[in-house]
Amino acid sequence: MTNWEDDEPFCTAAKDFQDARQVCKELGITLHHVNFSKEYKEKVFDQTLREFDMGLTPNPDVLCNRMIKFNDFTNHAFRLGAKKIATGHYARIKKDRKTLSLLKGLDEDKDQSYFLHSINPEIMNSVLFPIGEMKKKEVREYANKKGLPNYDKPDSTGICFIGERPFKDFLKTFLPPKPGVIISEYGEELGTHEGLMYFTIGQRKDLGIGGIKGKSDQPWYVAKKDMENNRLVVVQGREHPILWTKKVFVEKVRWLNSELGETLETKKSFQCLAKNRYRQSDVKCKVTPNVRGLEVDFKEPQWAITFGQYMVFYEKDECLGGGKIMPKYCELD
């Protein structure tokens, strides 16, 4: 499956296709190639750009799983006659008599349930995650033992269509600069920025405001995006209280666990675990429904909560679902 076409050397689609061809040759199976670049642009990339332009920090990999991999690609596979689809996600599916549950992968360092929380739960009956019970090291050893040529291929990192290229430079080709000022929490002008869409909450690098006279030598962090006035608000020190949040609003919620959806329809709160970004440790929280979504209260303050990222909920190893962290009542298509 090709989702992005790019002549830049950062795009690995061509190399990935050749790796797949070699593996299929080794296994003696047919390789089918389908191009979803058009669908990806319309359903994922265009939405991602709109959110960046709104000052959010989106996660397109979540949307790609829901709209492309576990929808368009799955339907294509079924049309070819497939009964099941298998992917290389580090996750597991637990089957009880009447229910299916999405569980974390056993390799805690590679678990990808966070990126799968918004897929259609009905598709799970047709999905296999064959490496969800394995550690990454075991996967490589097994592939090597079976003679697969890509057993030592480097891990893929970052957003799929960006690769290893500088993110800011990539975004500039689609969202041109909108210069503004950088200010402190007290309104002091400290410098200038090229565009709020190029920054994220908690960002420390590339601010260009070090060594300001009369200020300490503590590093500066992005604390807020003032979209109305096109100002980037920064604070000094990682432990600055503005960077810590105990309550957030979540909307566009999707549940893999239908019982939770029924619970929230009766306006009941519940306790669970959550993570507001990939690779973050699970934290305890209380979830309460309101008119537009969910209020999430953390037991302990969380650092650099970022609008546009996903809050994903867990009960032990089970992924319950999640939604987008947003300012209250922000309109999102």
Phi, psi (deg, nearest 5) at residue 287: -110, 125
Q: What is the Cα–Cα distance from 67 to 1, expressed in whole angstroms?
A: 14
Specify whether the CB–CB gap between 211 and 228 falls below 8 A.
no
Phi, psi (deg, nearest 5) at residue 119: -70, 160
Q: What is the Cα–Cα distance from 91 to 110, expressed in whole angstroms?
A: 9
DSSP states of 200-229: -TT--TT----S-TTS-SPPEEEEEEETTT
Residue tagged active-site, from 11, 64, 285, 319:
64
Phi, psi (deg, nearest 5) at residue 233: -95, 130
Tell me whether residue 121 is exposed, middle or buried, using C-beta atoms within 10 angstroms of its C-beta: 0 to 12, 13 to 18, 19 or more: middle
Break the chain down into helix, strand, coil percent, rounded to 5.
30, 25, 45
322: helix, strand or coil: strand
Q: Is 64 a catalytic residue?
A: yes
Residue tagged active-site, from 160, 272, 285, 319:
160
Counting every residue written for the chain, the total comes to 333
Q: Which residues are catalytic?
A: 64, 160
